Amino acid sequence: MWSVGCIMAELWRRTPLFKGRTEQSQLGLIHHFCGAICRENWPAVDQLALFNNLTFPDKPLRVVKERMKNWIQDELGLDLLDKLLILDPDQRIIAKDAISHAFFSTDPMPGQLDKILSTLKMSNFEFTSTD
């Protein structure tokens, strides 16, 4: 579900969410976006093999909703993303609950893709190109 949250955010942002150059920088980006990677936020994190090798100088607050509100104006979309990107897998939303989230059943409902794309004022290349 973590990956679903990352992909969902990347679709809105059109750029990678956590673009670290090393594993440590990647974890640092997650740490400053999703809140401190620590026992308080993720009780079982100390069971991960390399957790004790990590050092973070601070304990930032979670800022998922605040940082994503420029891309996601829908409160339900922000709520779902926030639940997908919870650090502790035991507290993260499960697939059954995610697919039943109000984001998927509340207006505005999805429309026809060709009609939606025709309203865009920018290039549609990234939506219509194939690899």
Domains along the chain with CATH numbers: 1-128 (1.10.510.10)
CA distance 32 to 20: 12
Q: Reduced to 3 states, what is the DSSP secondary structure of residue 125?
A: helix
- Whether the CB-CB separation of 10 and 25 falls below 8 Å is answered with no
- pLDDT in single tens digits along all 131 residues of the chain: 999 999 999 999 989 999 999 988 999 999 999 999 999 999 999 999 888 888 888 999 999 999 999 999 899 999 999 999 999 999 999 999 999 999 999 887 777 777 777 777 766 566 555 54
pTM: 0.81
- Please, which residues have CB within 8 angstroms of residue 69's CB and are 6 or more apart in sequence? 78
